[in-house]
Amino acid sequence: MLSLLRLATIRLVKTITVGISGASGAIYAQRLLMQLEDSAEVRQINVVISGPGRRVISDELDVSATADAEQIVAEMIGRPSTKTIVFHPGDIGAAIASGSYPVDAMVIIPCSSSTLGVLASGSSRNLLHRAADVCLKEGRRLVIVPRETPLTTIHLENMLKLRQAGAMIVPAMPAFYHRPANIVEMVDHFIYRVMDHLGLAHSQETVWQGDVSPVSKI
Ligand SMILES: Cc1cc2nc3c(=O)[nH]c(=O)nc-3n(C[C@H](O)[C@H](O)[C@H](O)COP(=O)(O)O)c2cc1C
Q: Where are the domains of the chain?
A: 13-207
- Widest Cα–Cα separation across the chain: 60
Tell the residue nearest (CA) to atom 14 of ligand 1.
23
Ligand 1 touching residue 148 (CB < 6 A)? yes
pLDDT digits (tens, 9 = 90+) for 14-59: 999 999 999 999 999 999 999 999 999 999 999 999 999 999 999 9
The closest-lying atom of ligand 1 relative to the alpha carbon of residue 50 is 27
Ligand 1 touching residue 58 (CB < 6 A)? no
pLDDT at residue 215, rounded to an integer: 66
Distance in angstroms (rounded) separating the CA atoms of residues 144 and 109: 7
pLDDT at residue 8, rounded to an integer: 47
Contacts of 192 by beta carbon, 8 Å cutoff, 6+ apart:
35, 202, 204, 206
Ligand 1 touching residue 30 (CB < 6 A)? no
The amino acid sitting at 68 is D
**Whether pLDDT at 6 is above 50:** no
Distance in angstroms (rounded) separating the CA atoms of residues 14 and 110: 21
Check residues 62 and 44 and name the one with the higher pLDDT.
44
pLDDT at residue 211, rounded to an integer: 67
Mean pLDDT value of segment 119-136: 98
Mean pLDDT value of segment 90-116: 97
The closest-lying atom of ligand 1 relative to the alpha carbon of residue 89 is 26
pLDDT at residue 9, rounded to an integer: 47
Provide the β-strand partners of residue 165: none
pLDDT at residue 61, rounded to an integer: 97
Ligand 1 midpoint to CA 13 (Å): 33
Distance from chain centroid for Cα 163:
16
Residue 116 near residue 152 (C-beta atoms within 8 A) = no
φ, ψ dihedrals at 198, nearest 5°: -85, -5
Handedness of CA 48, 144, 109, 9 (dihedral sign): negative
Ligand 1 midpoint to CA 15 (Å): 27
**Whether pLDDT at 3 is above 70:** no
User: CATH number of 13-207: 1.10.3720.10, 3.40.50.1950, 3.40.50.1170, 3.40.50.300?
Assistant: 3.40.50.1950
CA-only gyration radius of the chain, Å? 18
Instruction: Label residue 12 by pLDDT band (50, 70, 90).
Output: low
pLDDT digits (tens, 9 = 90+) for 149-204: 999 999 999 999 999 999 999 999 999 999 999 999 999 999 999 999 999 998 77
What count of residues does the chain have?
Answer: 218
Tell the residue nearest (CA) to atom 17 of ligand 1.
22
Tell the residue nearest (CA) to atom 13 of ligand 1.
23
pLDDT at residue 10, rounded to an integer: 45
pLDDT at residue 151, rounded to an integer: 98
The helix (run of H) or strand (run of E) holding residue 130 is helix 127-138
Instruction: Label residue 212 by pLDDT band (50, 70, 90).
Output: low
Ligand 1 touching residue 125 (CB < 6 A)? no
Ligand 1 touching residue 56 (CB < 6 A)? yes
Instruction: Label residue 129 by pLDDT band (50, 70, 90).
Output: very high
